[in-house]
């Protein structure tokens, strides 16, 4: 039994019509509404900026207590686990020495005392973030306001970003972090094993109209504001005082500035 071309085309047409019609009947029957007439808005009390920037006033970080207070404020609200060993350490904001912080030797003639100081370190929220370029899933992305944020949902744990970040600002959860969190804050998600995390400049607090937790805890040691606003405190400091940034030679344009010889600013 063979069919000719005309019969074949006719039958093919009938089957196609049946298929299209059938799927239409089924979707019509289910009555699925996909869109509701709704909108998404930014919160009214939220703080807004074009380029969020942090200034670390070195003169305000003197004692061990100053560093601890700042780090603790972050740990408690972001559910940062303490695995108890440096290999698995999860760091959002921490302390390190001059050698590790400013390796590259751009500022040769800083005073010797300065080179002995410990520094508060966090994600630099670069203008040209290499971690964002490395991320294959878009889990790390740069927001309109300059913050390099994380979408933990999308992180697949490839750790390319950790290799790409020249500042070591990213940490990986090798184990389930939940049992290692001192007290879980229900307002912020914990992470799962296989997810990278880092400082996000407290985007969740900015949306509620609050300054980042470390800034609040620092007693003026950390100054946070909009670098694009000529009247902001950070802009005034950066344009009139001597500040340095980490590894500028790499061209990532960090948004965290270290103020040298502060104390009497603004």
Partner 1 sequence: MYKGGKIIASLILFVAFLSIPFFYNMGKVNAGPENLQASISQLDGQQCVESADYMRSNHMQLLNKWRQSDVRDGKTVYVNSQGKSFDISLQSCLECHATQATKNTVGVNNPALKTSDQFCVSCHNYASVKPTCWSCHAGPEGAPK
User: Under the rule (CB under 8 A), what is the footprint of partner 1?
Assistant: 30, 32-34, 36-44, 46, 141, 143-145, 149, 151-153, 178-179, 181, 183-187, 189-192, 203, 207
Tokens 């994380």 identify what position? Answer: 150
Question: What minimum distance in Å lies between the beta carbon of 171 and partner 1?
Answer: 16
End-to-end CA distance of the chain: 95
- The pairing of strands 52-57 and 256-259 is parallel
> Which residue, 162 or 203, has its beta carbon nearer to partner 1?
203
Residue from 259, 256, 239 nearest 129 by CA:
256
Question: What minimum distance in Å lies between the beta carbon of 102 and partner 1?
Answer: 32
Question: What minimum distance in Å lies between the beta carbon of 166 and partner 1?
Answer: 25
- The pairing of strands 222-226 and 52-57 is antiparallel
> Which residue, 114 or 188, has its beta carbon nearer to partner 1?
188
Rounded Cα distance between 83 and 180, Å, is: 6
Task: Tell me if residue 211 falls in helix, strand or coil.
Answer: coil
Chain-centroid distance, C-alpha 173: 16
CB atoms within 10 A of CB 249: 9
> Which residue, 38 or 231, has its beta carbon nearer to partner 1?
38
> Which residue, 13 or 138, has its beta carbon nearer to partner 1?
138
String of DSSP letters for 116-184: H-EEEEE----SS-HHHHH-SSS-EEE-TTS-EEE-TTT-----HHHHH-TT---EE--S--GGG-SS-
Question: What minimum distance in Å lies between the beta carbon of 223 and partner 1?
Answer: 22
Question: What minimum distance in Å lies between the beta carbon of 80 and partner 1?
Answer: 13
> Which residue, 58 or 80, has its beta carbon nearer to partner 1?
80
Residue from 209, 185, 226 nearest 79 by CA:
185
> Which residue, 5 or 183, has its beta carbon nearer to partner 1?
183
Question: What minimum distance in Å lies between the beta carbon of 37 and partner 1?
Answer: 4
């Amino acid at each position: 039994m063979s069919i000719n071309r005309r019969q074949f085309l006719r039958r093919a047409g009938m089957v196609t019509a049946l298929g299209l019609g059938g799927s239409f009947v089924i979707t019509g029957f289910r009555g699925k509404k996909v869109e509701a007439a709704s909108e998404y808005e930014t919160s009214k009390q939220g703080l807004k900026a074009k380029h969020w920037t942090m200034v670390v006033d070195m003169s305000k970080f003197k004692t061990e207590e100053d560093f601890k207070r700042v780090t603790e404020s972050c740990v408690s609200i972001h559910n940062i686990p303490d695995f108890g060993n440096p290999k698995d350490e999860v760091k959002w904001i921490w302390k390190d020495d001059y050698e590790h912080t400013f390796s590259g030797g751009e500022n040769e003639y800083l005073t010797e005392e300065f080179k002995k100081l410990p520094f508060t370190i966090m994600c630099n929220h670069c203008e040209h973030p290499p971690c964002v370029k490395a991320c294959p899933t878009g889990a790390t992305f740069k927001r309109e306001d300059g913050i390099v944020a994380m979408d933990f949902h999308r992180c697949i744990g490839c750790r390319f970003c950790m290799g790409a970040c020249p500042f070591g600002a990213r940490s990986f959860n090798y184990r389930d972090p939940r049992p290692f969190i001192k007290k879980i804050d229900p307002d912020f998600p914990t992470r799962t094993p296989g997810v990278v995390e880092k400082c996000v400049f407290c985007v969740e607090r900015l949306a509620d109209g609050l300054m980042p937790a470390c800034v609040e805890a620092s007693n003026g040691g950390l100054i946070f504001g909009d670098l694009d606003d000529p009247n902001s405190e950070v802009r005034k400091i950066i344009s009139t005082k001597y500040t340095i940034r980490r590894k500028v030679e790499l061209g990532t344009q960090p948004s965290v500035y270290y103020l040298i010889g502060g104390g009497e600013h603004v």
